[in-house]
Structure 1
Amino acid sequence: MKIRKILFGLMFVLFWVQNGLHAEPAKEFYLENGMKVVVKEDHRAPVAVHMVWYRAGSMDETNGTTGVAHVLEHMMFKGTPKYPEGSLSKTVAKLGGKDNAFTNTDYTAYFQQIPRDSLEKVMEMEADRMSNLQFKEKDFQKEIRVVMEERRWRTDDQPEGRVDEALRAAAFVAHPYHWPVIGWMNDLQNMTVDDARNWYEKWYAPNNATMVVVGDVDARNVRKMAEKYFGKIRPKKIASAKPQVEPVQRGVKRVAVSAPAENPLVVLAYKVPALRDVEKDEDVYALDVLATVLDGYDNARLSASLVRQEQMAVSVGADYSALSRGPALFVLEGTPTRGISVEELEKRLKREISEIAKNGISPQELERVKMQLISSQIYKRDSMFGQAMEIGVFEMNGIGQKQIDRIIEKLKAVTPEQVQQVARKYFSDDSLTVATLVPVALPDKAVE
């Protein structure tokens, strides 16, 4: 999840407040078993979004069972003794809603978008699979094959997917961000149903989960339903995670991936801070602004200079994900035009940062970036699902949804000088990992 998209997306709330349109704050409480519940009332339409987030992702896995968090996500749809396989999804579909799930490095989440009057039913079914999931060998064998095929489709058969996987494996040595969320293929091939069951028993507990409800609901009624269905589930002893600190990098790392592709690609990843302390981590906000100056709107610096003016690249981009439980990367990437090497494009991407480090950005550019981001995110934040996602991400990464307003203030206070300072501070080769895609002949093309 990109913090600059989340945080700047939230900035439009401040715009509303300044114009007299006050949004009701979310309400939060804990059940006796330790489960946290956050409710955001939004009465514009008779619908609700119900999400259950578990603070367990691929970073909590160990060598030999990588990918198990995602495999368990698949198993969560195989049913319980009370509600057989497919019951939840079929129920949601009959109600005219939709449901799904997703696994991340830091968390796993399950959601339903349903009419408001159906909230209690999906809450009952979600609570049931939190504690009564069944693990049948035949179901596991089916799903592990699905996951392996998903890995082939998303990574093994996708040049960009291979590059991203190689980049992270090179950038992180000790931290579990080293391995992919979907897992290494060999681990998937040797995984057992007991591995999935053990993961479920270890992490899937009310005291390791947060429920988020956004929509045309009453927070008091949501609390009653949460207590009725989730409150009776016993908590588990959740082991404290051991520190997994990435060693200090002392020099540029390089990795090349050969794969069938039409165009080469170069990706530069710099180690930068993640958000830990809302008050103290000032550089995080300036890095967000820097990423947006580079690639936050149609005429941002990278595309304006490298694609339109100099025609050195077919496409370029910048990304910064600071809302994470683990270390963060600031990524620059580009596909060079014919006749331009990846080495030349790498130097030009670096120079774009160097120019900001040397000359900074203007106050006018900074304000234009902020206002464009505010206006572009109004529609997104108008979505109930978008609100639920933002709340969940902030909760899972330890910041908490109550800090959103303060983060908006911090972003609004970023100065051109701060952007220039972070451009000078973090972009040296000592913290850099470079991954390049080396195209080989496509299978369906004759080799001359």
Structure 2
Amino acid sequence: MKHFLPLLCLAVSLHAGAENPPVSAPPDTATPSAQVQQFTLDNGLQVLVLPDRRAPTAVQMLWVRTGAMDEVDGRSGLAHMLEHMLFKGSKALPPGAFSRRVAALGGQENAFTSRDYTGYYQQVPASRLPDVMQLEAERFAHNQWPDEEFAKELEVVKEERRMRTEDSPRAMLMEQLYATMFSAAPYRRPIVGWMSDLDSMHPDDARSFYRDWYVPNNAALVVAGDVDPLQVKAWAQQYYGPMAARTLPERKPRTEPPQLGIKRISVKQPAEQAYVALAWKVPALRQVTDMEAQDKDALALLVLSAVLDGYDGARLERHLVQTRLADSAGSGADVFGRGPAVFLLMGAPAKGQTSAALEAGLRGEIERIAREGVDAAELQRVKTQWQASQVYARDSVMGQAQSLGHNWVVGLPVDADVQLLQQVQGITSADVQSVARRYFGDDNLTVATLVPQPRAQAANTSAPSSTRPSTQSAKEEK
């Protein structure tokens, strides 16, 4: 787990009613064509266009600012379920037709759901871009399907939960970790949904969620590749412009109350190896210009995570894996999102070692930095790798489009990747040492430990799994 990746997901936020000039990255971090142009349609749909003429291909991504965090108790999994149902038909497209038509155009397509957003994408020859724009606009505006299609797809989603979560000990551990860590924040619910909520889900639940959130003033269209921005704008107006804007439901804050002490859970699952995950609540990064104290701390926490686990031979590998305390160890600073932020340490104890020993070892690495700081050479290596990651990000048209859409969702500006690269140069060893001292006490900590159980015993208590039906819908959940 190498954690420069979150910075590759930084890009653009558009403001309603504005049409802005292109903003380009400096020459050392972008190709000359890497200029994002922003438009806002009359119905509020944001349009981001990034020309990249190195290959005759184009990517269209439609980002909807709704995800699992917009669900309510008793209806978890709706955002993910609706992602599946977008492939099941519209007024002009029978079930399965969307995917068949994209394939006939020589394209690839899929979708994904997270706590913060839902996204749909197609990559096609650039000459076929207007065809997929028309297709995506049709299903976005006119999604509809019979109840029987919903019932069939719901069984697919249930099997997806069994395969990806219930049959995966570490996934079950992380699900329980988030459910324990948060009491009010909506991140406590799993993206795929609780099985009991899936069992009680009705077709009209999904239709209601679609009517509430799938509106142009809650979405962004991202197009990258061998395209002309003004032509893309014209197509966007033609295909997406006729959709009517609607008032969105009120989003309640659902603020997480202060934690009053350490939370600790054991998760018993059939597994060969123990695992331990430690999660601290930390500040989120909300803006990259005129940073407030919590934004600067969030950036320093990203650097701290990179020092621990951001490159081959980083501290967790050297001090825990190579010394045979752990078979694996990782770190992550999840500070980008619409909800609360989390700093994670996790790992599997080596043979002959205990979860308690590994937990102490993981915490010991933070404590070492809190005492000693980070030396100049180590910090410079992190910054150099960070800068290189920005260059590598430009190799993929899909990656560039994903960065733009992701950062529209979380409200960052168009040049956030460049701004953060500049901001990180100012992070000092003292900054990293300071956050290591201030954010890793017990009162913000939740610990989840996987306790392996014999597989035969689990087989007697687990529900039988079924053969997963085939589906044309997207299967990626983040």
TM-score by length of 1: 0.95
Is 1:291 the counterpart of 2:305 in the alignment? yes
The whole-number CA distance in structure 1 between the counterparts of 2:338 and 2:123 is: 27
Which residue of 1 is the match for residue 234 of structure 2?
224
TM superposition shift of 1:373: 3.7
> 1:22: Cα distance to partner?
4.3
Task: Give the structure, 1 or 2, with the largest relative contact order (CA under 8 Å, sep 6 or more).
Answer: 2
CA distance in 1, matches of 2:419, 2:186: 31
Name the CA distance, whole Å, in 2 between partners of 1:329 and 1:353: 15
Q: Does 1:434 align with 2:467?
A: no
Structure 1 segment 202-241 matched on structure 2, within 5 A: 202-241=212-251
Contact 1:286/1:418 (8 A) holds in 2 = yes
* 2-structure distance, mates of 1:169, 1:394: 26
1:285 aligned partner, one-letter code:
L
* Counterpart secondary structure, 1:438: strand
Stretch deviating more after TM superposition (275-284 or 217-226): 275-284
Kindly state the Cα deviation for residue 4 of structure 1 after the two structures are TM-superposed: 4.1
The code of the aligned residue for 2:141 comes to S
Match of 2:468 in 1: none
8 A Cα contact 2:89 2:96, kept in partner = yes
With over 3 angstroms needed to count, the CA separation of the structure-2 counterparts of 1:410 and 1:96, relative to structure 1, is same
Alignment match, 2:14: none
Amino acid at match of 1:49: V
Deviates more, 1:142-151 or 1:237-246: 237-246
**SS of 2:448 mapped into structure 1:** strand
Contact 1:155–1:161 (Cα < 8 Å) also in 2? yes
Partners of 1:56 and 1:106 within 8 A in 2: yes
| CA spacing shift, 1:8–1:14, aligned 2, 3 Å | farther
Match of 1:340 among 334, 341, 353: 353
The 5-angstrom pairing of residues 176-191 of structure 1 reads 176-191=186-201
- CA-CA distance at 1:71 after TM superposition: 0.4
Where does residue 19 of structure 2 map in the other structure? none
Where does residue 364 of structure 1 map in the other structure?
A: 377
TM superposition shift of 1:228? 0.3
In 1, the alpha carbon distance for the partners of 2:30 and 2:407 equals 26
Contact 1:10 1:408 in 2 (8 A): no
In structure 2, distance between residues paired with 1:284 and 1:26? 26
Q: What RMSD in Å do the two structures reach over aligned CA positions?
A: 2.3
Greater CA deviation, 178-187 or 75-84?
75-84
Aligned positions of 1:274-423 closer than 5 A:
274-278=284-288, 279-280=291-292, 281-308=295-322, 310-375=323-388, 378-423=391-436
Figure out how many residues of one structure are paired with residues of the other and give that number. Answer: 445
More helix by share: 1
Structure 1 residue 377: deviation in Å?
5.6
- The answer to whether structure 1 residue 139 and structure 2 residue 152 are counterparts is no
CA drift of 1:135 comes to: 2.6
**Paired residue for 2:466?**
none
Q: Contact 1:9–1:374 at 8 Å: present in 2 too?
A: no
The one-letter amino acid of 1:188's match is L
Residues 183 and 360 (structure 1), Cα distance of their counterparts in 2 relative to 1, 3 Å cut: same
Q: Does 1:271 align with 2:281?
A: yes
Unaligned runs of 5+ in 1: none
| Structure 2 SS opposite 1:17 | coil
Q: Report the alpha carbon displacement of residue 82 of structure 1 after superposing the two structures with TM.
A: 1.1
1:90-101 residue pairs with structure 2 within 5 A?
Answer: 90-101=100-111
Contact kept in structure 2, 1:269 and 1:432, CA below 8 Å: yes
Deviation digits for residues 91-135 of structure 1 (CA, Å, limit 9, x no counterpart): 221222100000000000000000111110111111111121113
CA change 1:2–1:394 in 2 (3 A) is farther
8 Å Cα contact 2:68/2:190 also seen in 1: yes
Code of the residue aligned with 1:314 in structure 2: it is: D
